Amino acid sequence: MKRFSFDSACAAIVAAALGALCAAAPAVAEDLMQIYREAQQNDPTLAAARANWQATQERIPQARSFLLPNVSAAASGNINNFHESIHDDLPPDTPNPINRTFRSGSLSVSASQPLYRLQNKVAYDQAKQQVSQADYQFSSIQQDLILRVAQAYFDVLLSEYNVDLAVSQKAAVSENLAQAKRNFEVGVATITDTNEAQAKYDSIVAQEILARNDLDNKRTALRAIIGRFPQSLKKLEKGFDPPLPSPNQLEFWVDHALAENLQVRIAGYNYDIATLEVDRQRAGHYPTLDLVGSYAIQAGNGATNLGSPFDLRSAQIGVALNVPIYQGGFVDSKVREAIALQENARQNVEVARRAALFNAQTGFTGVNSAAASVKANEQAVNSAQVAYESNRLGQEVGVRTNLDVLNTQQNVFQARRDLAQAYFNYLIGVLRLKSAVGTLSEQDLEEVNRRLQG
Show me where the domains of the chain are located: 6-67+117-285+327-453, 70-116+287-323
Amino acid at 123: A
The dihedral over CA atoms of 214, 219, 222, 228, expressed in degrees to the nearest 10, equals -160
Q: What value does the CA radius of gyration of the chain take, rounded to a whole number of Å?
A: 40
In 85-199, the DSSP E strands lie at 98-116
| Cα separation values, 114 from 121, 277, 333, Å | 10, 20, 26
**What pLDDT score was predicted for residue 417?**
86
pTM surpassing 0.95? no
SS3 295: strand
- DSSP 8-state secondary structure symbol assigned to residue 68: S
**Number of C-beta neighbours around residue 8 at 10 A:** 9
Cβ neighbourhood burial of 267 (10 Å; 0-12, 13-18, 19+):
buried
Contacts 24+ apart (CB under 8 A), 22-25: 22/235, 22/236, 22/237, 22/238, 22/240, 23/235, 23/238, 24/235, 24/453, 24/454, 25/232, 25/233, 25/234, 25/235, 25/453, 25/454
**What pLDDT score was predicted for residue 16?**
44
Asked whether 230 and 35 are in contact (CB, 8 A), the reply is: yes
Segments of the chain scoring below 50 in pLDDT = 1-18, 20-27
Q: List Cβ neighbours of 203 (8 Å cut-off, separation of 6 or more).
A: none
Q: List Cβ neighbours of 135 (8 Å cut-off, separation of 6 or more).
A: 53
Q: Which helix (H) or strand (E) holds 293?
A: strand 288-300
Q: List Cβ neighbours of 226 (8 Å cut-off, separation of 6 or more).
A: 35, 38, 39, 42, 43
Query: Which of 229, 206, 169, 179 has the alpha carbon at shortest distance from 408?
Result: 169
> Cα(398)–Cα(412) distance, rounded to whole angstroms?
22
**What pLDDT score was predicted for residue 307?**
67
Asked whether 198 and 181 are in contact (CB, 8 A), the reply is: no
Query: Which of 416, 410, 399, 8 has the alpha carbon at shortest distance from 179?
Result: 8
Q: List Cβ neighbours of 10 (8 Å cut-off, separation of 6 or more).
A: 172
Query: What architecture is the 6-67+117-285+327-453 domain classified under in CATH?
Result: Up-down Bundle (1.20)
Q: What ranges in 227-290 are assigned the alpha helix state H?
A: 250-260, 262-282
- DSSP 8-state secondary structure symbol assigned to residue 3: P
> Cα(162)–Cα(219) distance, rounded to whole angstroms?
14
